[in-house]
Amino acid sequence: MAGGFDDENGKFRVLVNEEEQYSLWLDGMDIPRGWTDCGVAGDKKTCLDYVGKVWTDMRPKSLRVWMEEHAKKTAAAESTEAATPET
């Protein structure tokens, strides 16, 4: 198949969604709902290199936020338990 997403020399754009997940999109195609153009465009390798640099944590943003909040609550609870003298 010539052209399309398999074309290594085609022109692509890098998109990102609210969950901070990245995708390559063919330049000139309408951007799907829920995605935003990052402002990075070029051949496939250029775009993939950019994504490789910025997308270092594959977990969706909502999961990362939840995990951080859970860790803080757990640490606070453990700190309170450690500070409470045994009777």
The pLDDT value given to residue 76: 78
The pLDDT value given to residue 25: 97
- DSSP notation for 1-67: --SGGG-TTS-EEEEEETT--EEEEETTSPPPTTEEEEEEEESHHHHHHHHHHH----S-HHHHHHH
Model-level pTM? 0.74
State which fold the 1-56 domain adopts: Rubredoxin-like (3.90.820)
The pLDDT value given to residue 1: 42
Mean pLDDT by 10 residues, the chain (87 residues): 77 98 97 98 97 96 94 81 69
The pLDDT value given to residue 74: 84
Q: Residue 29: phi, psi to the nearest 5?
A: -85, 150
